[in-house]
Amino acid sequence: MTGAPVPFLDLAAQHAEVRAELDGAWADITATNGFIGGPHVAAFEAAFAGYCGTRTCVGVGNGTDALELILRALGIGTGDEVVVPANTFVATVEAIVTAGATPVFVDVDDDTLLVTADAIAAAIGPRTAAAIVVHLYGQMPDMDAIGAVAERTGIALVEDAAQAHGARWLERRAGAYGRAAAFSFYPGKNLGAFGDAGAITTDDIELADSIRSLADHGRRLDTRHEHDASGRNSRLDALQAAVLSIKLKRLDEWNSARRGAADEYRKRLDQTPCRVLGRDPRSVPVHHLEIVRVPDRPRVLGVLDAHGIGWGLHYPIPVHRQPPFAQFAREPYPVTERAAQEIVSVPMFPTITSREIEQVCDVLVAATQGSASGTRS
Ligand SMILES: *Cc1c(COP(=O)(O)O)cnc(C)c1O
């Protein structure tokens, strides 16, 4: 069971594949000095909209801004409620609060740890303006059922697709289901920039124009000195856009390598005390993170450390347990609470080898030996 260390993430291997193209983009931009906006940004926006299957895309500074800008452009703010899964990264909730609205947490499904249509429907009240669906870990929930709830109740459906570039529900991709979707290109995401970056995809050109204006100091589009709103500065750099265009061409290949790795984890951990996430056959996930739920996590983490195996926790303290957001907790969220105690994110990246996965699984299984198997609630 002893073997070489396995990193949690290996960006160097990924970047080595596109090194020459990246160097070319750097040379081009440093020669032209067009750092903000310009052809690299427009080209990436068009390519990413095409990839997601939406009419348009707006590049912004990061994924959190993308979420907040969507809400603001939809006119959502003070007095409005936004339904959001309790099991998410803090940024989803932060964007709601920054926009001035009130987050209404809902618990998640115990098998996928994703939000459900029923939970959203039950949380909708007279002040509900929107629901943010989070494609957490790279998997989309039942977008048909959730879309039907949004349709029936007239609330806006917003996707937090920060972990789901290229994921699909049936034939459509993440980013193409909601009124608008927010993407993050934080370096470790499935499509990652060389720094912070983000984007919004939507079919609604008017909404995209509002977002574009808000992200550029509320400047009226195609004018220089006229400002219609107190906006902000949240722009996509040309360098980041160029990097993203290069990496976008490899995204499907990288995502399918992740799916292969996830299948191996699933096979090797079947019938052990380690439980991987459930997968709906209608969904094609992109495995941003490989989540394993284990008994006695402190012990497991110690054993992983002892074997040099990288790990993460996404997320050990639920958002509603964080001081700034605890005031919005209305009820217990038992599935989220329990998952927070059990989850471990194990090594997952496109170039991970079968040998490495075997090694991680051997260590996980040895570390959980003696625990009750199939710890289903
Ligand atoms: C990364 C992430 C964000 C925030 O994106 P940033 O680019 O870091 O601002 C939002 N939601 C989820 C689910 C994320 O994983």
Buried b (16+ CB within 10 A) or exposed e, 113-123: bbbbbebbbeb
What does the block give as tokens for 88? 């998410």
For residue 255, the model assigns a pLDDT of 98
> Which CATH number is associated with domain 251-368?
3.90.1150.10
Global pTM value: 0.96
Query: Ligand 1 atom 2: the closest Cα is on which residue?
Result: 162
Contact 273, 368 (CB under 8 A): yes
* Per-residue pLDDT reduced to its tens digit, 289-323: 999 999 999 999 999 999 999 999 999 999 999 99
* Residue 345 beta carbon below 6 angstroms from any ligand 1 atom: no
> Distance from the CA of 238 to the center of ligand 1, in angstroms?
20
* Residue 283 beta carbon below 6 angstroms from any ligand 1 atom: no
* Residue 54 beta carbon below 6 angstroms from any ligand 1 atom: no
* Residue 198 beta carbon below 6 angstroms from any ligand 1 atom: yes
- Residue span(s) of the chain under CATH 3.90.1150.10 come to 251-368
Query: Ligand 1 atom 5: the closest Cα is on which residue?
Result: 63
* Per-residue pLDDT reduced to its tens digit, 1-34: 568 899 999 999 889 999 999 999 999 999 998 8
User: What are the contacts of 171-174 at 24+ separation with CB within 8 A?
Assistant: 172/53, 172/143, 173/51, 173/52, 173/53, 174/52, 174/135, 174/140
The C-alpha atoms of residue 27 and residue 25 are separated, in whole angstroms, by: 5
CATH topology of domain 12-248: Aspartate Aminotransferase; domain 2 (3.40.640)
The C-alpha atoms of residue 63 and residue 207 are separated, in whole angstroms, by: 17
- Residue span(s) of the chain under CATH 3.40.640.10 come to 12-248
What does the block give as tokens for 215? 């992200």
Query: Ligand 1 atom 14: the closest Cα is on which residue?
Result: 162
* Residue 254 beta carbon below 6 angstroms from any ligand 1 atom: no
> Distance from the CA of 88 to the center of ligand 1, in angstroms?
9
> Distance from the CA of 197 to the center of ligand 1, in angstroms?
10
Burial of 90 (C-beta count, 10 Å sphere; 0-12/13-18/19+):
middle
* Per-residue pLDDT reduced to its tens digit, 310-366: 999 999 999 999 999 999 999 999 999 999 999 999 999 999 999 999 999 999 999
Element (H, E) at 303: helix 297-306
